[in-house]
């Protein structure tokens, strides 16, 4: 494969280094601004960011959700994974939700060897099939519609026992919406059981365990293995507070803990005739399917269920199961080894082109977003393309709730990036400030305001340092979040009031565009290209232009052109 980049005929490229700053979760609110109380960015009034938006010649908005990042429709939020995929690939690939949706609609998911293996083993041995995943329609990590389709196919193929180990969302959907989603699932499972009674078949289809996503099962980047251990013990061993059904568990834990769904403690459903005995455990011979399609928070529980030399925590029992993810979550480590739908083949990413052409690169973030500027940026590839001229730096995130330390590691990321810039070793540098996303997800507006302030101070330091070096800075974001911290009525566009007379918080990503700014000594030569609806996928070719290269033929157009 030819990775040779051709130089531009009318522009040699910038003289100094090029830095890409990704303001994770910091979009541009596009609703009715008058009286809107939830824009953490406007409240923080970030001096450096606002000055750049006001004064720079090259400043625009990019689409960062829906079809612009490979999601099924423009009603779907973007997320950090697909956003970084699009930025790093220069093209748009069908992503998790759409891949699964297409496979279910075509029926190909049920014709694959992995599905057939799990179902045939269950039918032959009369063992249960277990489903683990997030119960919501947020379409960021999972979609309840996918789960219902999978369970429905189990019913059609004659599987007698199905158990769901459901995780509460409250992050990509309203913070207190679990009863709606679990109620829908309970009703569906009841309908299958009732129909089986009429036909004389056996259908023991039930919810068996659960817990809030931020404290049960869904850790990422090895930030806190206790989260995975808690979920493993609940799902596999049936260890945890026991309740007669999922709706009772949610109600009783809510009244006791007074937290959003995402932080609700883990729980286990007990057997009908014994309140001390779990309804179901995952045992030898069972089938297990993780139906989350997003990879970052699916890898660790997958490892706990399949790895022989697992060291994340002590497993009191490791069952011999047929395990599959709905997708392959990490192509480099082949995790999990078996999956239901093949991932998009993202090849010829920007980093690979640059590495093949001798362009040195530097990537940095803290634990929570390190994988985004490396693995996802590289097209779901966790290896460097040329270790001699690339460097990746991960700064350990604090293990405290993000609203308690909203500054996170912004200052340290800036300091280390400035040192890398000043070293003269790197032509292209990229970084991610996670604050806007991670703090935005907590629903705390005051904390999000502090997070924006911390990021803005770090941006100011980076701009000042780059100006001394004569280099260029691009500022953008992967999706919106903290600019829309208060829920908005879809019909009226007005903020929604909660039952207590306070504004209803929004913890999910937004559908807002994100900023795109270029700051540097050559900006007088640039003008915005006439692209109808530019998005994150146009960034890669823009970076190539700034470095003096033509884009590959199938890359999306650059956002600017040189005069």
Q: Which residues are catalytic?
A: 80
Alpha helices in 424-471 (DSSP H): 435-440, 445-469
Find, among 7, 8, 23, the residue nearest to 473 by Cα.
23
Alpha carbon 27 to its chain centroid, in Å, reads 16
Helix, strand and coil in the chain, % to nearest 5: 35, 20, 45
Q: Are strands 204-212 and 267-271 parallel, antiparallel or unpaired?
A: antiparallel
Question: Tokens 């937290």, residue?
Answer: 259
Question: Length of the chain in residues, anyone?
Answer: 563
Burial class of residue 261, CB neighbours in 10 A (0-12, 13-18, 19+): buried
3-state secondary structure of 187: helix
Backbone angles phi, psi at 242, to 5 degrees: -110, 140
Distance CA 394, CA 241 (A): 37
| Number of neighbours of residue 541 by Cβ within 10 angstroms | 23
Q: Which tokens is 275 given?
A: 């309140």
Q: What is the DSSP letter of 376?
A: I
Question: Distance of alpha carbon 318 from its chain centroid, rounded?
Answer: 28
Output the CA angle 408-351-558, nearest 5 degrees.
Answer: 95
Give long-range contacts, CB 8 A cutoff, 24+ apart: 310-318: 312/222, 312/225, 312/228, 312/229, 313/225, 313/226, 313/228, 313/229, 313/232, 315/232, 316/233, 316/237, 317/236, 317/237
**Would you list the DSSP string of 32-89?**
--TT----HHHHH--HHHHHHHHH-SEEEEEB-SGGGGT-SSTTS---HHHHHHHHHH
The answer to whether 129 and 161 have CB atoms below 8 angstroms apart is yes
**Which H/E stretch holds residue 323?**
strand 322-327
Q: Cis bond leading into 3, ω under 30°?
A: no
Query: How many other C-beta atoms are found inside a 10 Å radius of the C-beta of residue 32?
Result: 12
Comparing CA positions, the residue from 385, 390, 380, 340 lying closest to residue 360 is 390
Q: Which two tokens stand for residue 546?
A: 């700034």
What is the Cα–Cα distance from 539 to 65, expressed in whole angstroms? 15
Lookup: tokens for 453: 């302030």
The torsion angles phi and psi of 379, rounded to 5 degrees, stand at 80, 40
Task: State the Cα–Cα distance between residues 217 and 212, nearest whole angstrom.
Answer: 9
């Amino acid at each position: 494969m030819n990775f040779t980049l051709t130089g531009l005929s009318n522009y040699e490229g910038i003289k100094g280094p090029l830095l890409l700053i990704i303001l994770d979760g910091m979009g541009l609110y596009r609703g009715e601004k008058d009286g809107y109380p939830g824009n953490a960015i406007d409240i923080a009034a970030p001096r450096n960011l606002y000055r750049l938006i006001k004064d720079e010649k090259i400043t625009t908005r990019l689409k960062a959700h829906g079809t612009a990042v490979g999601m099924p429709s423009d009603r779907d939020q973007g997320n950090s994974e697909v956003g970084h995929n699009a930025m790093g690939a220069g093209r748009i690939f069908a992503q998790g939700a759409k891949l699964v949706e297409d496979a279910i609609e075509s029926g190909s998911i049920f014709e694959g060897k992995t599905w057939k293996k799990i179902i045939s083993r269950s039918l032959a041995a009369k063992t249960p099939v277990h489903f683990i995943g997030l119960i919501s329609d947020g379409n960021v990590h999972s979609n309840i519609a996918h789960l219902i389709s999978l369970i429905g196919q189990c019913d059609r193929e004659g599987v007698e026992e199905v158990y769901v180990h459901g995780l509460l969302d409250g992050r990509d959907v309203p913070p207190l919406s679990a009863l709606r989603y679990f109620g829908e699932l309970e009703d569906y499972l009841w309908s299958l059981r009732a129909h089986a009674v009429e036909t004389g078949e056996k259908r023991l289809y039930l919810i068996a365990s659960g817990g809030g996503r931020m404290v049960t099962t869904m850790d990422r980047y090895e930030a806190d293995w206790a989260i995975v251990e808690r979920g493993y013990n609940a799902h596999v061993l049936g260890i945890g507070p026991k309740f007669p059904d999922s709706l009772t568990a949610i109600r009783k834990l809510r009244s006791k803990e007074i937290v959003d769904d995402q932080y609700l403690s883990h729980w286990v459903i007990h057997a009908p005739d014994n309140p001390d005995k779990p309804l179901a455990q995952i045992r030898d011979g069972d089938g297990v399917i993780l139906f989350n399609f997003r990879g970052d928070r699916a890898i660790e529980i997958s490892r706990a269920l399949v790895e022989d030399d697992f060291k994340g925590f002590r497993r009191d029992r490791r069952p011999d199961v047929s395990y599959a993810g709905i997708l392959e979550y990490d192509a480099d480590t082949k995790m999990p080894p078996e999956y239901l739908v093949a991932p998009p083949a993202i090849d010829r990413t920007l980093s690979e082109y640059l590495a093949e052409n001798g362009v040195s690169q530097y990537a940095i973030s803290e634990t929570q977003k390190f994988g985004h500027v490396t693995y996802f940026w590289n097209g779901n590839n966790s290896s460097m393309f040329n270790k001699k001229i690339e460097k990746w730096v991960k700064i350990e995130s604090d293990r405290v709730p993000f609203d308690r330390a909203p500054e996170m590691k912004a200052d340290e990321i800036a300091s280390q990036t400035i040192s890398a810039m000043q070293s003269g070793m790197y032509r292209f540098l990229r970084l991610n400030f996670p604050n806007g996303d991670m703090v935005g997800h907590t629903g705390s507006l005051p904390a999000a305001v502090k997070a924006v302030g911390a990021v803005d101070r770090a941006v100011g330091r980076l701009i000042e340092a780059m100006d001394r070096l004569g280099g260029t800075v691009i500022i953008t974001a992967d999706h919106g979040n903290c600019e829309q911290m208060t829920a908005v009525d879809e019909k009226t566009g007005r903020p929604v009031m909660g039952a207590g007379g306070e504004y209803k918080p929004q913890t999910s990503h937004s559908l807002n565009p994100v900023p795109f700014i270029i700051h540097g000594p050559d900006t007088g030569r640039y003008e915005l290209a006439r692209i109808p609806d530019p998005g994150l996928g146009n960034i890669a070719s823009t970076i190539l232009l700034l470095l003096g290269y033509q884009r590959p033929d199938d890359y999306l157009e650059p956002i600017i052109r040189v005069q």
